[in-house]
Amino acid sequence: MTDLQIKSPPDDIPEIPVEIVSEEEMALIEAAFIATRSSIPSSFISSVASSSPSKSRLSLFSSVSSITFHSKRRIASCSEASTVGDIEDSGNLGATQKKSKVPQSLLDRFRRRKGLAITDLTASEWCEKQMEFILLYGRPRRTKAMKAGFDRHVKLEEEVVKKVKVRVKSVEDAWGLKLMNFIVGSNQLLFEGLTRELPVVGLVEGVWMVGVIDEIRMPLTEEIRISTLVDTKTRSQAKLPSEPQKRNGRLQLMCYKYLWDNIIADSFPSDHFFDFFGLNPRHVLSEEIIDYAASSGFPVKTLEDLVTCFRNTCCLLPPAHDQLLLRYEFQGDHSLLGEDQFAYDSDWLKSQIQCCLEFWSGNREARYVPTEECWKCRFCKFASICPANTSTSSTSS
């Protein structure tokens, strides 16, 4: 069972519930659903719940027999625990499936009815071969630095969210909570100018992708409102990251902007969404979710009703600024090491995504890191079995 956090709005504005769930948690929830309801297609699950509906956001957690969501003011984002040591929105990459007679792409084998996480993209950009090993053999145990980064993101989220528990009984309920967290988090942004751990979902180059945006800021005093996307990275050493690490973080934030701008442009294909994730749009949501939604100002009954509210909310949101911001903190004392403000580059982003999808779609084999970035191998848990290293070792010997 997982707790979600929600931040209660000021007294002079409508109270808004919100909550956030990490993709790692969602992967665990999905595993629970598969174990208990083999007839239900695996799906990405988000959290949204609140003990005080008017002041919280919802969040989820999974167990074998049931799934519990905790609410936050906004939906909590998945922890990244990425290969580069960041804690963001990554799913459980250790899932495996029985081999099929017909070769399947990595998308079909590991992300069917789940969607590709933005952190799947960034992990692939870091090293495709490492990503392949993670999918086939499971993610290595979380390091101390990864845990510290995750804990820091939890603290940042708790600054704007309260935790609440909500029990769901279906994949539709789980997605309903995720969408509610988005709605509540978006309201928080519109009324307070700040929200964190906002879950997003959308189509990118024909592929469904999911993620959780670290932070979104929006000035309330300016006549023309534009939202600024921010991502905080924690560092185990008191120094700024290397250029490849900065590049990886920039890719992540650009992907979030792409998703954000798409959904606020009302380009969310509802029918395609229901079909891909195996959802019944006419499914009657759990009583807890219905009550929570009503107390939050958007009465709904079915998942389709909630998707309509989700789309209506998207139409109220401002576009994301072309200037994106990466923040780097020292894990030791949370001091700011530096900031990287950079411009959105649509052409570069598109080329990076297309290159990544070639790998995930099975159009080519996994690539190794370029020669100038072979230093990454020193930190890879799969270095001892990687052909790139074994061939180098045999040659040198």
Percent of the chain at pLDDT > 70 equals 68
The pTM of the full predicted model, rounded to 2 decimals, is 0.74
At residue 150, the pLDDT reads 66
Given CA atoms 81, 20, 163, 231 in this order, what sign does their dihedral have?
positive
- Among candidates 237, 263, 235, which has minimal Cα distance to 249? 235
- State how far Cα 381 lies from the chain centre: 24
Question: What is the rounded distance in angstroms from the CA atom of residue 104 to the CA atom of residue 158?
Answer: 41
Q: Which residues pair with 203 in a beta bridge?
A: 208
pLDDT at 160: 72
Q: How far is the CA of 41 from the CAs of 47, 167, 344, 360, in angstroms?
A: 18, 19, 36, 20
Sequence-ordered list of residues with C-beta below 8 angstroms from that of 226, at least 6 positions apart, any chain? 218, 219, 318, 319, 320, 321
Summarised one tens digit per residue, pLDDT across range 114-153 is 999 999 999 999 999 999 999 999 877 666 666 676 677 6
The DSSP code for 165 is E
pLDDT of residue 155: 73
Query: What is the mean pLDDT of the segment spanning 325-333?
Result: 94
Query: What's the pLDDT tens digit per position in 28-78?
Result: 444 443 333 333 333 333 333 333 333 466 654 433 223 333 333 333 333
Q: What pLDDT does 162 receive?
A: 72
The whole-number average pLDDT for the span 341-356 is: 97
CA trace torsion 396, 386, 364, 273 (10° rounding):
-160
Q: Which two tokens stand for residue 356?
A: 């990544």
**Pick from 83-87, 260-264, 358-362: least confident:** 83-87
Position 216 pLDDT exceeds 80: yes
Which residues fall within 8 angstroms of residue 135, CB to CB, at 6 or more apart? 93, 94, 95, 96, 106, 109, 110
Could you tell me where the beta strands, DSSP code E, fall in the chain? 61-62, 67-70, 116-117, 165-168, 194-204, 207-217, 228-235, 323-330, 336-343
- Give the amino acid at 343: A
Range in 12-21, 92-101, 134-143, 284-293 the model is least confident about: 12-21
134-145 burial, b for 16+ CB within 10 Å, e for fewer?
bbeeebbeeeeb
165-168 vs 61-62, strand pairing mode: unpaired
User: Does residue 177 carry a pLDDT above 80?
Assistant: yes
Say how many residues make up the chain: 397
Query: Where is pLDDT greater, at 99 or 214?
Result: 214
User: Which pLDDT score, from 0 to 100, does residue 278 have?
Assistant: 96
- Round the CA-based radius of gyration of the chain to a whole number and report it: 20
Residues 381-386 have a mean pLDDT of 92
Whole-angstrom distance, CA of residue 187 vs CA of residue 128:
38
What pLDDT does 145 receive?
A: 65
- Whether residue 218 contacts residue 227, with contact meaning beta carbons closer than 8 Å, is answered with yes
